[in-house]
Chains A and B, each alone.
Chain A
Amino acid sequence: EVQLVESGGDLVQPGGSLRLSCAASGFTFSNYNMNWVRQAPGKGLEWVSYIGTGGYTIYYADSVKGRFTISRDNAKNSLYLQMTSLRNEDTAVYYCARDYRSSWRYYFDYWGQGALVTVSS
């Protein structure tokens, strides 16, 4: 059974930093691209970042570019999101999500339960 379990969510002050982790199990982690997707309270879904299987192909949403860093450790079956210069508007539940993509089809087939990040003074 595919499982994705996020951890590291917390209350942090504006300008602060936080690192989220996502532990994967039930599939060969190193064979799959991964993503972070977030959801602000009462709002919709927003894609945040993507990382390829080897960790070399990386994309970010404009809203987090230069502040967030995605990484992975295939030996530990883990995905990470290092967040710096946090803003109030970064307050959200952050989900890690397994990626599927082909020429015309891009989607997330499995999601974790989410980690709540609250940015507030």
Chain B
Amino acid sequence: QSVLTQPPSVSGAPGQRVTISCTGSSSNIGAGYDVQWYQQVPGAAPKLLMYGNDNRPSGVPDRVSGSKSGTSASLAITGLQTEDEADYYCQSYDVSLSTVVFGGGTKLTVL
């Protein structure tokens, strides 16, 4: 059981918009710790996609955005492309556990 909760899967057609939720608690996201998102395409290592809730590393397109509110965070991808098909993981820090924590991952399928 992951400390952060994500939907197992989401899907959308090319060009559409999808969102992936990440729900935590008062000891992690709700405590004020930032949320990060990683993208992992099949067979590859995870790649940082979003940091500090809503900041994109260099090279990540602006059709990818992040937000955080209360004990939850969201990743939104607009103008879906086939190359977006991957697993997405949210991540934060948990003050009770004193460790970095991850969500269980969400598989994005582009129909």
Contacts and interface: CB of A to CB of B under 8 A. Distances in A.
Interface of A: 35, 37, 44-47, 59, 61, 95, 100, 104-114
User: 6 tightest A-B contacts by CB?
Assistant: A107-B36, A105-B34, A106-B93, A111-B45, A44-B105, A45-B102
Interface of B: 2, 32-34, 36, 38, 44-48, 51-52, 57, 89, 91-93, 98-105
Contacts of B105: 44-45
B104 A44 contact: yes
Nearest to A4: B45
Contacts of A112: 45
Given A104-B33, A105-B52, A106-B100, A44 B46 contact: no
Contacts of B34: 104-107
B104 to A, nearest CB: 5
A114 B33 contact: no
B57 A45 contact: no
A1 B82 CA distance: 27
A104 B46 CA distance: 22
Given A44-B104, A45-B89, A109 B48 contact: yes
Contact of B33 (A37, A105, A110, A113): A105
Contacts of B45: 95, 111-114
A59 B99 contact: yes
Contacts of A47: 99-102
18 contacts: A44-B103, A45-B91, A46-B102, A47-B100, A47-B101, A100-B51, A105-B51, A105-B52, A106-B33, A106-B92, A106-B93, A107-B34, A107-B36, A108-B36, A108-B38, A109-B48, A110-B48, A113-B45
Nearest to B57: A109
